[in-house]
Structures are given as structure tokens and as C-alpha cells.
A and B are shown apart, each in its own frame.
Chain A
């Protein structure tokens, strides 16, 4: 299996600011994903980040709000920009690894 770590594990931010979340994997993977889990809800895909190409965003998510970097095969970042209280969620990184998808521990974001 692939082991994934995320930083920070949680944060409390003021509206209008931005937060960058880091995702580190212990193996080289082609496909990485960013999901959002709103309070009491299930997971929704934000974007797919493949190394060497631009991230692909799902309907309802835009690059200006959620810019993503994927500089190498073991690392990615997701930035939540110009935050509002509606952005309060858990943000999860996942990777496709030999046909299975593994998730990181998540970043719990609270926007005041």
C-alpha cells in the first residue's frame, strides 16, 4: 500500500486568506487526487493532479479558487484561496497505486 501524509493536519483561518495543504507519498505515483469532505457529508473530488500536466478540475471547482501543484511523483499541494466559511471542510489527498486508491489523514480546515 501507499502511505500518505498531509500538512497541516488542521488549521483555523480568517476569511479572505489562503491556505496551502501539502501531500507527501512514500512511493512514486502517477495519479494524485484532491477530495473535499464537508461536515457530515461524503467525499467529492476537486481535481486530479498528474505529474507533468495541468490539474483537471471537476465541475464546480476552478483553478483560481483551488490552485494545485504537482512538482514530482511523490508530492502535491492544494491551495484554498480567498477563503470563506463555506470552505470549512476536510481536504483529503489520495493516490492511485496498483489499482487501489489510498487516502491521506486529511486536513481539517475551519474558516472564521
Chain B
């Protein structure tokens, strides 16, 4: 069964304190791995799609990487406005369905 696990469930950082969020997956034929940011009361905001092991993508203070078993979302020198829930999702095989992890709630304190 296709599965996505995110860790930690919650993360508290001081402003400027860099860290990483983990997304491990078990799927039959990865089609794509997606990262989203979700603020309270809003829909998920698309961040990245990664397709193959070794791929990396960056956007401002965020960098996503992918291996054959997991993905990391690295946050460099975070600011309070980076506080949100970060969701990881995968597409497997020929399906366009997204299978989501439970998310990591990030709080960045000033």
C-alpha cells in the first residue's frame, strides 16, 4: 500500500535557526513528490514537485531534495512568516491522485 510519513509532527524554531523536515514514502513507482504549504483556514499552496532521485529545487529560504526513499524540505534562516503546516504528497504509477502525509506544523518564533 502506498504510504507517506512526515516527521516531525511539529517543529519550533527560533528565527534564523535552520532545520529540515522529512517526508518518507513507500510507493509502487513514484510519479512525483509534491511539497505544499498550508496556512490555517486556507487551501494548500504549491511549493515544489520533484520527479527523480537526486533532484533539488529551491525557492527563497526553502530547498527540497529527493532520494529513492525520502524527501527533505530544508528551511534556511527561517522567519516568523514561514510558520505554517508543510504537507508532502506523492503520485504513484499512472495515477494523478495525491497521497498526503499528515504534515509538519512549523512555528518560527521571533
Residues of A bordering B, CB below 8 Å:
1, 4, 31, 33, 35, 41-45, 48, 58, 92, 94, 96, 99-106, 108
Contact = CB atoms under 8 A, between A and B. Distances in A.
Interface residues of B, number: 19
Contact of A105 (B42, B89, B96): B42
Contacts of A31: 96
18 contacts: A4-B43, A33-B96, A33-B97, A35-B98, A42-B101, A42-B103, A43-B89, A43-B98, A43-B100, A44-B100, A45-B97, A45-B98, A48-B96, A48-B97, A96-B96, A101-B46, A106-B42, A108-B41
Contacts of B87: 42-43
A4 B43 CA distance: 10
B49 interface: yes
A33 to B, nearest CB: 8
Given A42-B87, A42-B103, A101 B43 contact: no
A101 B46 CA distance: 7
B43 A103 contact: yes
A9 to B, nearest CB: 9
A103 B43 CA distance: 6
B34 interface: yes
Nearest to B31: A99
Interface in B10-52: 32, 34, 36, 41-46, 49
A96 B44 CA distance: 14
A102 B41 CA distance: 16
Given A4-B43, A33-B97, 19 more contacts: A1-B46, A31-B96, A33-B96, A33-B98, A43-B87, A43-B89, A44-B100, A58-B97, A100-B49, A101-B96, A101-B98, A103-B36, A103-B43, A103-B45, A103-B46, A104-B43, A105-B42, A105-B43, A108-B41
B28 to A, nearest CB: 17
